[in-house]
Chains A and B, each alone.
Chain A
Amino acid sequence: MNHNQQSGDAKNDDDSALSDFLASLMDYTPAIPDELVEHYLAKSGFQCPDVRLIRLVAVATQKFVAEVASDALQHCKARQAAVIKDKREKQQKDKHLILTMDDLSKSLLEYGVNVQHQDYFADDPSTGRDPASREE
């Protein structure tokens, strides 16, 4: 009985939290404009007159892209830190953070998307090997 009551309370909390969230979505403007999201959702067969759901999908996509980008940023910063560690006397070549295909492919691999390029030169014994087993 208690268990049911507790789960009931939890549900009510979740409900209220969700409804609050949906209401707050109307104030929050996602980075992806509504027209764009509507176009692609219409293309995939998603039909919904409710604007809040459109916003929800936009926020979800924004979250996804932000996560991928931040993972790639971590890789980029790690690489720059490694460079600094090796050559402390010499100046840093690249102070700026650049989104490269390299970092992107590494971060996307965790999400199950393979965008890796084949190596152009096979000048290293480790070329063509699985990146997990490769030493950077």
Chain B
Amino acid sequence: MSHGDVESTRDTRKSEDQRSLSLGGPKADDFWRAVSKIAVLQICESVGYERFKESALEALTDISIGYLCDLGKNASFHANLAGRTECNLFDVTRALEDLGASHGFSGASEIGNCLVGSGTVREMVQFVDSKEEIPFAQPVPKFPVVRHRKLIPSFEHMNETPPGKHIPSWLPAFPDPHTYIHTPMWNERASDPCADKIEQARQRRKAERALLSLQQRLVCNGSTGTSASMVVDAKKGKMHEAGSNPFLVAPLQPGEKDMSQVVFPAKLSDEVSKGNHVSVLEAFASAIEAMKDGPSNELYGEKTLLPEKRPAVHFNFRTGKKLLGQSIDLSLLKKGEKRTTLFLSDEERDDKKRRAEFILRQTTEYPMELNQS
């Protein structure tokens, strides 16, 4: 004999979660069914069972729910028979006797005796006395959940008079006219497209500056130990480069700068510990320099400034040192291409696009450098 998973009682398949999803979705009854399943499980555990077959548990749950409903139906029937709508103890006792008649209880065959002394009630008393309490495993939440709907206020509530005499004041009020009457809109502000563009460009530059400074700070955080030495070397390298190639202008010449603070080679050698602070200034300085110089300067930092007019550029980089994390990659790139997309000219690209691209490149390169160092 095998039982598998088929239940032979009523159609109880919908009580399963998986199956209910395919047949009409979960119903409100499923909640109570699940709760009763837990209760039945606990009762069976108290009786002595350790494990349960799913199908058997489902069947027992169905039967116990049916028993409960039968009790209620019977009790209400007896109450209605006596001309009442509310059930009392005697109705329940009669219902218990009806349901227990098949199994038998003491005093079942007697007729006309008072229900107070009924055998079923005595059995109940014995049951309660013998069994210990089984508290329910979890608190049962309130179901169904009551949602308070926000009603449309009435005319009275809104202190409005209904627009017609035939409309009573306790009905919901009409919607406000602005919700259904369309009125034209005028743009009252005078727009100056030229000024707007300038303002936009200014804000963009501000944002880019902030982003660059952040990146510089991040780079310096990653390579704090070498920043001073790198800077010093870079400075030396710059001097050398400047001597050999007059077109490689270092951005750190004091005469060209607006900011008086930017004498940072000396500053850097003095304040090795303030790596972050210096790098921020440095970043600002280089950014301003780049902006002042216009679109020809792509690279920031001390290493390189490429004039756009030179098709092929050769840089004298020290391969062993990382100058603010940029040198090695760029040298490799430059060797390959004369005019790459990295170095953009005004004729080819928009100012904004160039900056955006540069920032993106910075973000991709810096983490790689940091990892390597």
Residues of A within 8 A of B (CB): 10-11, 14-15, 17-18, 21-22, 24-25, 28-33, 35-37, 39-41, 43-50, 53, 56-57, 59-66, 68-70, 73, 96-104, 108, 110-117, 119-121
Contact = CB atoms under 8 A, between A and B. Distances in A.
A103 B55 CA distance: 12
Contact of A73 (B47, B71, B121): B47
Given A48-B88, A66-B47, A73-B48, A40 B39 contact: no
Contact of B47 (A10, A21, A69, A100): A69
A64 to B, nearest CB: 5
Nearest to A20: B125
B63 interface: yes
Contact of B43 (A15, A35, A65): A65
12 contacts: A18-B121, A29-B133, A31-B43, A35-B143, A57-B72, A57-B92, A59-B128, A61-B71, A66-B46, A101-B3, A113-B63, A120-B2
B72 A100 contact: no
B59 A46 contact: no
Contacts of A114: 8
Given A61-B71, A115-B59, 5 more contacts: A32-B39, A57-B92, A96-B50, A104-B60, A119-B1
Interface residues of B, number: 68
Interface in B51-73: 51-53, 55-57, 59-60, 63-65, 67-73
A41 B49 contact: no
Contacts of A121: 2
A117 B8 CA distance: 6
Contact of B92 (A40, A45, A56, A110): A56
A63 B127 contact: yes
B59 A101 contact: yes
B32 to A, nearest CB: 5
